[in-house]
Amino acid sequence: VLCDRRLIGRSLANLVGNALKYTPSGGSVTLRAVCSGDKAGRPDSPHEARHGGAPPRQAAFS
């Protein structure tokens, strides 16, 4: 998934904040993130890079 680094950070902060806020006392919140392979943040094909891929500064998300 290609995304804006700043916006995905804000989204994750909101999700974690809401999870902590609404989890009952004694409950737990688990967050997992996985970066698989060496293609994180890069388009799968040259065609995608030209037509619809993220701008270069967004594609550098890693």
Q: What is the pLDDT of residues 6-44, one digit of tens each?
A: 888 899 899 989 998 999 988 888 877 776 666 555 555
Please tell me the pTM assigned to this model: 0.48
Comparison of pLDDT for 9 and 57, the residue scoring more: 9
CA distances from 4 to 12, 21, 25, 41 (A): 12, 26, 34, 10
